[in-house]
Structure 1
């Protein structure tokens, strides 16, 4: 028997779309797992009876994604104007840094433990009340459905089908690190390999019988493949630096890790574990990452 918490139709306004230093689009996986971890901590404070609750894995199901850009030959970020600032006897607009924002609606499915059936309604009520007070990926939660706790018996014939039905219609984001690992056997640069699978080839076919031009589009592999940020790699040892946020903890400089991801419909999964993301730490390589695929 496994226990899952379903947070349906969470509408997030102005989420951070800059998932890494060079990718803009769907928020980074670190933002989703970070929000779930924050929810776990808030829940333990809200009701001490849930002080030992754990949220171990998370699946993200996207229902809509509206990137705030002006579309054209080249996309441009839609910026927001800061309030006027008085300088001398006149008012002028202060400078600002363009921020990539996205409006998204998602369903979060969280694998949990230590939620007894007699506390089911109590836990659902606490999460439903807590969620609107939080931020996800720096965005404001405008609306969210009632949290629901689902108990799944894996030995039954229908298995995870009741849980998968709650995710429809939507697209589950999974990791496709395996694609890059297969190509990385050669000497090709990692970024070039990533761009190879994101590139779209356009072909124009002009027919002599009419003036119409037919376009065909091809990609290296089928599927809805996107770049996703899945964590950080350390580029410095653990140390203390001036003006760090928490002086009681060691500090470490790090850079983003970007890999390939894929959006797939929930009905294409036979096992719910294939959708779930979890934290992973590799001390030897200095990796702080979110994993979806099992290690080979």
Structure 2
């Protein structure tokens, strides 16, 4: 029986996070943004003396997401609420570049690994105080952290389902973001295009019925899964990048020592699932995964290896 150490960052209040998660999706920040934040925190902690510390996987729980959009009376679509940029030298408005933003209340569960010496140190109150100090100077998904609750450590055994349930129930109400790429896989195995398979599960079909007295009632329905069950709160999520050019050097690249390549976003299906429906800790944890033969740089769930189809 092994013990897993989970760093809990409860109810992070993020202001003006980047909601443009990919070139064609808007809403909750991309999973790459959350794992990127955790990776930045790991680097800062290593620079502070915890050289063997690894923040190896992360669970993201959404408590509230306030997307900054507006739809006026009679409008069919929502518009992005833009920022008031300063006037240019001629006193005119500068060119407007749409920046989708959202305000968030989210919690993170971060699995930590380290050598025995570092493990003894990170379980001390001084380590949690240092984490809290670092959080106050960091950004999350491009947004500002307005409020940070004190972080805490939880030690869980692999077979301690009661401990997992207690941890998650303490963060209720909340929705864990999990991956549902198998929905796209099943549709693509039947010949559907990747984009069509994604839209098929997101489309809401409305139909009307008229009774004998002439009263009209409307019904809404979304696609059911192959087993006949209705999926939960299904959303498109950006989970990484796919290289579209060979590795090489580019003029004026940011890091001259690291090979450069152009890439495009990888988008698949995800689900926001209520925490009381999470059975195991690995059901909500994400980690980095590199698939060099297919030029994929992904964030995926901690689970057995599966086919990497099901992305667009």
TM range (shorter): over 0.9
Corresponding pairs, count = 290
**Structure 1 residue 295: Cα displacement:** 2.2
In the alignment, which residue of structure 1 is the partner of 2:103? 103
1:79 maps to 2:58: no
Cα distance change on mapping 1:183 and 1:156 into 2, 3 Å? closer
- Residue among 265, 288, 295 paired with 1:279: 288
**Structure 1 residue 96: Cα displacement:** 1.7
**Structure 1 residue 184: Cα displacement:** 1.0
> CA separation in 2, counterparts of 1:289 and 1:53?
22
**Structure 1 residue 207: Cα displacement:** 4.0
- Normalised by the length of structure 1, the TM-score is 0.93
In the alignment, which residue of structure 2 is the partner of 1:4? 6
SS at match of 1:133: coil
**Structure 1 residue 269: Cα displacement:** 1.6
- Residue among 23, 41, 44 paired with 1:42: 44
Cα distance change on mapping 1:12 and 1:113 into 2, 3 Å? same
**Structure 1 residue 112: Cα displacement:** 0.5
In the alignment, which residue of structure 2 is the partner of 1:59? 59
**Structure 1 residue 146: Cα displacement:** 0.5
**Structure 1 residue 243: Cα displacement:** 1.4
| 5+ long unaligned stretches in structure 2 | 225-229, 307-312
> CA separation in 2, counterparts of 1:53 and 1:271?
24
Matched ranges for 1:100-179 at <5 A = 100-114=100-114, 116-117=119-120, 119-120=122-123, 121-156=125-160, 158-179=162-183
Superposition CA RMSD, Å: 1.5
| 5+ long unaligned stretches in structure 1 | none
**Structure 1 residue 155: Cα displacement:** 3.9
> CA separation in 2, counterparts of 1:214 and 1:238?
57
* Deviation >6 Å, runs of 4+: none
> CA separation in 2, counterparts of 1:23 and 1:175?
16
SS at match of 1:85: coil
In the alignment, which residue of structure 1 is the partner of 2:305? 295
> CA separation in 2, counterparts of 1:266 and 1:232?
28
